[in-house]
């Protein structure tokens, strides 16, 4: 899928690569780089943070707390990697507030039971046959994609696996096949808000909203047209559907 994504972006959003004007290496100088002490501090803090993220299964500390601690260290008096008087200028809070709202919305959907109601409503509309047919597998993949539109992918990832046994009973498919269909639905990205890191990436790249939406729609369409048939063939090959 990564190769398809690269081809898709190259074809749909093609542009001419222009050579950057040559600059004298002396003109670049060392002024653009932070002082040596600051580079060491950043490297050590990020290295320790990465190590703690990798080993969170053992120590149980949430990755969010680790990231918050690293941010506090960078702003700690005497270190001042990010000076407090420049924090408002260097850090744009709008995408952070937006991502926080989207994550909170997904958690609200999952915690209140609204997501479960939405999923059961779509199950009744899907008309599952309980015979484990390929049509049921296709319907469940599309169902997961629609739930991702309603509850975002964070909410869908928390919600859909909890319904795996109900979906298995309604479709006649094995639990492994159900999980496979959920993963397919999770990969169908139609709008940027469904995946908060996508919103942050588009914002950092200063991508216009129209281009961002157009690109995710293309990604979702190609994913559905390529990945779903491949998954159906694989499930049939291994006897899971």
Q: Which of 4-8, 69-73, 86-90, 161-165 has the highest mean pLDDT?
A: 69-73
pLDDT tens by residue, 89-123: 666 677 677 767 766 776 776 677 776 776 677 66
Cβ-proximal residues to 56 (8 Å cutoff; 6+ apart), any chain: 62, 63, 66
Residue-wise pLDDT for 27-48, tens only, equals 544 455 556 777 888 889 999 9
For 115, which DSSP code?
Answer: H
- Assess contact for 4 and 12: CB atoms under 8 A: no
Distance CA 122, CA 64 (A): 33
> Is 182 or 116 the better-scoring residue by pLDDT?
182
Cβ count near 103 (within 10 Å): 14
Alpha-carbon gap, residue 31 to 52, rounded angstroms: 32
Return the minimum-mean-pLDDT range out of 21-25, 76-80, 91-95.
Answer: 21-25
Q: 80-101 burial by CB neighbour count: b if 16+ within 10 A, else e?
A: ebeeeeeeeeeeeeebeeebee
Residues 6 or more apart whose CB falls under 8 angstroms from that of 93 comprise none
Q: Token pair of 10, please?
A: 């190259």
Amino acid 69: pLDDT: 92
């Amino acid at each position: 899928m990564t190769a398809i994504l690269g081809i898709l972006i190259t074809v749909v959003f093609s542009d001419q690569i222009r050579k950057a004007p040559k600059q004298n290496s002396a003109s670049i100088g060392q002024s653009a780089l932070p002082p040596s002490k600051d580079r060491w501090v950043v490297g050590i803090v990020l290295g320790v943070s990465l190590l703690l993220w990798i080993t969170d299964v053992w120590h149980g500390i949430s990755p969010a707390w680790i990231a918050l601690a690293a941010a506090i260290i960078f702003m700690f008096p005497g270190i001042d990697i990010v000076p407090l008087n420049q924090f408002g200028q260097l850090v744009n809070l709008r995408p952070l507030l937006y991502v926080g709202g989207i994550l909170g919305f997904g958690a609200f959907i999952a915690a209140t039971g609204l997501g479960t109601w939405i999923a059961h409503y779509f199950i009744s509309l899907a008309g599952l046959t309980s015979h484990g047919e390929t049509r049921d597998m296709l319907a469940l993949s599309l169902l997961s994609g629609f739930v991702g539109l309603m509850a975002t992918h964070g909410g869908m990832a928390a919600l859909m696996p909890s319904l795996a046994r109900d979906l298995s009973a309604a479709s006649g498919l094995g639990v492994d096949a159900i999980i496979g269909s959920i993963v397919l639905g999770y990969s169908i990205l139609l709008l940027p808000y469904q995946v908060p890191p996508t919103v942050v990436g588009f914002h950092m790249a200063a991508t216009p909203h129209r281009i961002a939406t157009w690109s995710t729609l293309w990604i979702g369409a190609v994913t559905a047209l390529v990945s779903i048939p491949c998954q159906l063939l694989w499930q049939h090959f291994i006897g899971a559907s």
